[in-house]
């Protein structure tokens, strides 16, 4: 035996529900808002030197190299600024967030880290130079040698992170859009 229950909704509720259903079909305005929230959060990760935990400090050799490039003192992962240039693209049902194209593989290496030699080896050209061998200066001729890439371990310094505090803002953006009380 089947039973049917009819519920009648009065007032402006049917129109509001219909409007919410229509808005749910294209969440692009809410996705744009979420893109802005995530973009700002990731930039803050750089400004704070890592969140929620601070990134591991740079090794002395890296600091020396950056000093020679006039890029130190400075912030970790902000030598050229390419990693900090965060872009997003909103569609009707999602938002994609990424570092600038100039960051390339560099972004993945710093997000996840890399072990010494994990990218294989390359032939490196060595210029002629003086070398101290047993107290004597010896002229070394130009030559090539195999070098592991990276030449040392690179610790993971995750920067593409959404913080817990951002989730409430993202949820609010979707809710406000669907209810018609905010964006769009």
pLDDT of residue 101: 87
Could you list the residue range(s) of the whole structural domain that residue 146 is in?
Answer: 115-153
Q: Is residue 94 part of a domain?
A: yes
**pLDDT score for 144:** 93
Helix (H) or strand (E) holding 82: none
Q: Which residue has the higher pLDDT, 23 or 46?
A: 46
Q: How far apart are CA 100 and CA 35, in angstroms?
A: 14
Assess whether pLDDT exceeds 70 at residue 1.
no
121 and 96 housed in the same domain = no
Distance CA 46, CA 56 (A): 13
Domain assignment present for residue 23? The answer is yes
Considering the domain architecture, whether residues 127 and 61 belong to the same structural domain is answered as: no
Q: Whole-number mean pLDDT of the chain?
A: 90
Residue 25 located in a structural domain: yes
Q: Residue range 64-70: average pLDDT?
A: 91
Q: Could you tell me if 91 and 37 lie in one domain?
A: yes
Model confidence at 30, pLDDT cuts 50, 70, 90, reads very high
Q: What is the reported pLDDT for 84?
A: 92
- 148 and 161, same domain (yes or no): no
Within-domain flag for 2: no
CA distance 149 to 56: 20
92 in a structural domain:
yes
User: Is 70 exceeded by the pLDDT of residue 184?
Assistant: no
Instruction: Tell me the pLDDT band of 64, cut-offs 50, 70 and 90.
Output: very high
Whether 169 contacts 30, CB under 8 Å:
no
Domain membership flag for residue 8 = no
Among 138-142, 150-154, 159-163, the least confident range: 150-154
Q: Are residues 89 and 62 in the same domain?
A: yes
Domain assignment present for residue 7? The answer is no
Instruction: Tokens 């294209």: give the residue.
Output: 26
Q: How many folded domains does the chain comprise?
A: 2
Q: If we measure between CA atoms, which residue out of 96, 102, 97, 105 comes closest to residue 45?
A: 97
If asked whether residues 161 and 88 sit together in one domain, one would say: yes
Where does the pLDDT of residue 14 fall: very low under 50, low under 70, confident under 90, or very high at 90 and above?
confident
Asked if pLDDT for residue 95 goes beyond 70, the answer is yes
Tell me if 3 is assigned to some domain.
Answer: no
């Amino acid at each position: 035996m089947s039973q049917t229950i009819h519920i009648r909704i009065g007032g402006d509720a049917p129109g509001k529900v219909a409007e919410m259903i229509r808005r749910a079909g294209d969440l692009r305005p809410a996705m744009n808002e979420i893109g802005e929230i995530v973009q700002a959060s990731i930039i803050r990760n750089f400004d704070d030197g890592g969140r929620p935990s601070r990134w591991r400090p740079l090794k002395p050799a890296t600091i020396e190299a950056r000093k020679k490039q006039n890029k130190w003192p400075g912030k970790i992962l902000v030598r050229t600024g390419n990693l900090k240039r965060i872009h997003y693209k909103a569609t009707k049902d999602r938002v994609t967030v990424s570092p600038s194209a100039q960051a390339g593989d560099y972004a993945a290496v710093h997000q996840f880290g890399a072990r010494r030699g994990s990218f294989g080896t390359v032939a490196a050209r060595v210029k002629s130079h003086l070398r101290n061998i047993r107290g004597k200066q010896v002229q070394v001729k130009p030559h090539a040698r195999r070098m592991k890439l990276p030449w040392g371990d690179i610790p993971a310094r995750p920067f593409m992170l959404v913080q817990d505090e951002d989730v409430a803002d993202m949820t609010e953006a979707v809710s406000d859009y669907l209810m018609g009380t905010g964006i769009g």
